[in-house]
Structure formats: structure tokens, C-alpha cells
Amino acid sequence: MANAIMLQGTGSDVGKTVLVAGLCRAAKNRGLKVRPFKPQNMSNNAAVADIPGDTAGEGEIGRGQWLQALACGVRPTVYMNPVLLKPQSDVGSQVVVQGKVFGEARARDYQAMKAKLMDAVLDSWAKVGEGADLVIVEGAGSPAEINLRSRDIANMGFATRANVPVILVGDIDRGGVIASVAGTHLILPEEDRRMIAGYLINKFRGDVSLFDDGIKAIEKFTGWRCFGVVPWLKAAGRLPSEDSVVLERLASGEKRALKVAVPMLARIANFDDLDPLKAEPQVEVVFVPPGKRLPENAGLVVIPGSKSTIGDLIKFRENGWDRDLAAHRKRGGHVVGICGGYQMLGRMVRDPEGIEGSVREAEGLGLLDIETVMEPEKTVRNSSAQSVQFGLPLEGYEIHLGRTTGPDTARPSTILNGAEDGAVSADGKVIGTYLHGLFSADAFRAAYLGSLGVKGGGIDYRAAVEKALDEVAAELERHLDCDAIFGLAR
């Protein structure tokens, strides 16, 4: 097995994903063969990854592990995130194991399922470490959830089984970081507490020396060493985000030439499809929360992917967004629907087998003359594609259920792996596609924005992500004792 270290958090959304990505890039820059690993992830922002040795070839992992693999300079595999939970209701999730759909489970049922899933986690762990010098592991949530400890596979349950030393991450930006670190120490059982080699503080704003007394206090309470205090990483904002929690903090930026409105669906998926547009200097992307109207001055509305198309379609109407969208179209506005958003744009979505839940059909938004029928077989693949409108190459992937047919598919929006995909309205202003990553292709993005009267392009989006990873790694080298952190690995 390769040497390994693990980052666990005092809570969710403390910045573990970015820190692991940054440390992976820092280790790569030091010449190490490094790999990421997250035993269990919960996210509807999924990515396509290789299944080594499988003729099917590809499966799903969390978007965070895809980013971390990019930081390592390696192709992602399903073993980097063996258990992925994709929430599709308030009480249940789809369970993906080593890239493939394993089943659905309510929260209580999933707890009982974990014992079997640990075998898949440990099998994947052995495979990820093959040929690597270092594996950097990301925990999930917090190890302080001791009510769930007996069946844990994501934090200390994994760390103790795999004998991986842990660094605890505290988020000072949310407040109470001293109590969260000291409190974690207090309530952990001794077996778990022994696994923690120290901690680091993340998201510090201002003069770091002001926290010197905080470090002394934490040491007094815990005896743990501090590996450093990480400032607020501006470059992290240019990296794809995995957790939809981040959407709750997004605010409208400065006014620009084109406003793009994105309704925040309850089961929004793969919302990082919008990141390339956010990077454009002339584009303002506004995520619209439930209860708020779609802005009247938006030139483009993008309906993103969804893990529960029918459920989100019903909520779409409850929010009154269907009326806002109809008014947007009357004003001559443009609409793009991606994956689940594409399905919503049609006349009807049917689910005869109840794959998504108990509601078997829902009337669509009626902006495209198409109909979608949900089918059990899921399409998961990286795709070579081309824009029909501009004849330009596209890049991206597909993760979807359902087959879409209808008259408007005679005007496809894209060619995916040699086959026609998507649909376009007669006036060309409504576009639907199953291709995630549509806006990542720089030439297409520039051409599409140009068709809306906005200057785009001049940005190499992929290069910008690589540059942001390098900047995060440089900041971590500057503010953390990376020699000591990498020296912990065993």
C-alpha cells in the first residue's frame, strides 16, 4: 500500500475538497505520484471516471474527486470515490458503488447497508494505492457524529481500519473554531482520537498572528499540534465546486453585458456546467433561489441538470418560474436546458416504472416539442461532440436516465459520439442537450455568446482551472508545514 494521510473536518463545508486538491497538486509538484481518495461522498455533482478492466469502461464519482485527480495529473477512476450517494428526495438517495448504480436507500436503510459497502471501500483503497507514492484521503462531514460511528465508512471508521493518520480541518470563517476543534477532541473515543496527528485552520481573513492565542488555547485543550493557518483562498473560487451548499452563498456580481439566470432546483446536479460562463468578463451568472423570481433583465436562462426531473419540474411550477420563463420567451429571451433541464423543456416527462419516485408523469414547460420517458438504463460516458449550429467541437460527458423523442429533435443541438442529440426550437432560441460541460469548449462558448451579441472568449477555461490549482498549492506550501504533513504519511 502507498503511504497516506487523511483530512477530516470539524463539520461539512470546511473546505476539505479544495485543501486535498491543493495538497495533491503540491505533492505532484514535488515529484510524487499522488492519488486522491474519498470513501463516501454525497453529491449530485457527479463526474465520469474510468472503470479499469471493465468493458463498459466508465462510471460515476463525485466531482470533487475528479478535480483532485486533475490536481494529481492522472485520469480519474471509480476507485477514487467508491461510494457516491446522490440525493433524490428529502429522505432517500441513489447509491452508486464503484461507479455503478447499486440501488436506492432511505437514510435509515443506508446505515444498515454500510457494513457491506466497507468491503467495496477497502477493495478500492487497495487499488487506488497501486503504483502511488502517496494517497491523500478526504473525509465526509465530521468524525464528531459519534451517534453514527459504529457503522462509519467515511471518517474514523475508515481511518482506523486502514491505519491512516488524520489531520483535522477547522473553518474559522463560520465562527466557533476553537470550540469545534476542542469539542471534537473531547467527544471522540480514545481509539479515534489517537488517529489525529494535529489540525489546521482554514479560511482565515486578515492578520494570521491574531490567532496565535487561539492556537495556544487549542493546544492546551487537545495537545494537538497546528500544521498551519490557511488564509481565504481567492483562487478556490475559480475551481469547480461540488457541494450545492455553495449555491446558498452566491450573490449577483457586478452588472455586465449579459445576465444569465439559473433557477436553483431542489435536486440541482452538475451546476459547475455554469462555471465557464461565470469566468467570462461580460457575463453575470445569477443563481435564483426558490421564492425569488427569475430576473426580467436576463438575456439567457439556463435550466441545469437535476437528480429528480419530475420532482424539480413540479417545484419549478410551485415557484412560479414557469410563468417567468414564458414571459422571458415573449421578450425574445434565450433558453438552454442541460440534461434534466432539457427534459423539463418538453411537453411531458413520463416515469412509468417509478424510477424517480411515486409521481409517474408531469407536464413539461412546453418550450420544445419533445417528450421524455424515463428508462432504467443509465447513460454514463465521456463524449466527443460537435455543435450543430456552429460546427465547432465540444467537450463533456453524459450522466442521465431517459429517452427523449419528438418533432424538435429533427433539429439536433449537438452530435454526441456520432449520433444526433438534443433539440432546438423553430426560432433557434431554445436549446436542449444531454451534454454536460457544454460551455467548457472555449470556441463554442465564444461563438454562442457572440450570437447573443456579447463578446466572449479569450479565456482558456481548462488552463484557468490548472492555474487556480497551482495557486492554491503555492498558498498551502506558504502557510502550512507541508514537509510535516507529507512526513506523517504511513
Q: Are residues 367 and 325 in contact, defined by beta-carbon separation less than 8 angstroms?
A: yes
Q: What is the pLDDT of residue 288?
A: 97
Complete DSSP assignment for 278-311: HTSTTEEEEEE-TTSPPPTT-SEEEE-EES-HHH
* Catalytic residue status for 334: no
Q: What is the pLDDT of residue 458?
A: 78
CB-based contacts of 159: which residues, under 8 Å, 6+ apart? 6, 8, 137, 139, 165, 166, 192, 195
| Cell numbers placing 29 | 509538484
In the set 24, 72, 226, 339, the catalytic residue is: 339
| Cell numbers placing 16 | 476539505
Q: What is the largest CA-CA distance in the chain?
A: 70
CB-based contacts of 261: which residues, under 8 Å, 6+ apart? 286, 288, 294, 295, 298, 300, 301, 302
Distance between the two ends of the chain, CA-based, in angstroms?
Answer: 9
What single-letter DSSP state applies at residue 88?
A: -
* Catalytic residue status for 226: no
Q: What is the pLDDT of residue 372?
A: 98
In the set 185, 334, 436, 479, the catalytic residue is: 436
* Among the listed residues 39, 8, 34, the one whose alpha carbon sits nearest the alpha carbon of residue 22: 34
* Among the listed residues 260, 230, 221, 264, the one whose alpha carbon sits nearest the alpha carbon of residue 245: 264
Q: Is 402 left (phi over 0), alpha (psi -120 to 50) or beta?
A: left
Q: What is the pLDDT of residue 90?
A: 65
pLDDT tens-digit readout, 77-87: 999 999 999 98
Q: What are phi and psi of 20, to 5 degrees?
A: -65, -45
441 to 257, 387, 421, 436, 444: CA distances (angstroms): 21, 10, 17, 11, 6
* Among the listed residues 488, 479, 470, 486, the one whose alpha carbon sits nearest the alpha carbon of residue 201: 479
Q: Are residues 247 and 44 in contact, defined by beta-carbon separation less than 8 angstroms?
A: no
pLDDT tens-digit readout, 368-395: 999 999 998 899 999 999 999 999 999 8
Which residues of the chain have a pLDDT value below 70? Answer: 55-56, 90-91, 242-255
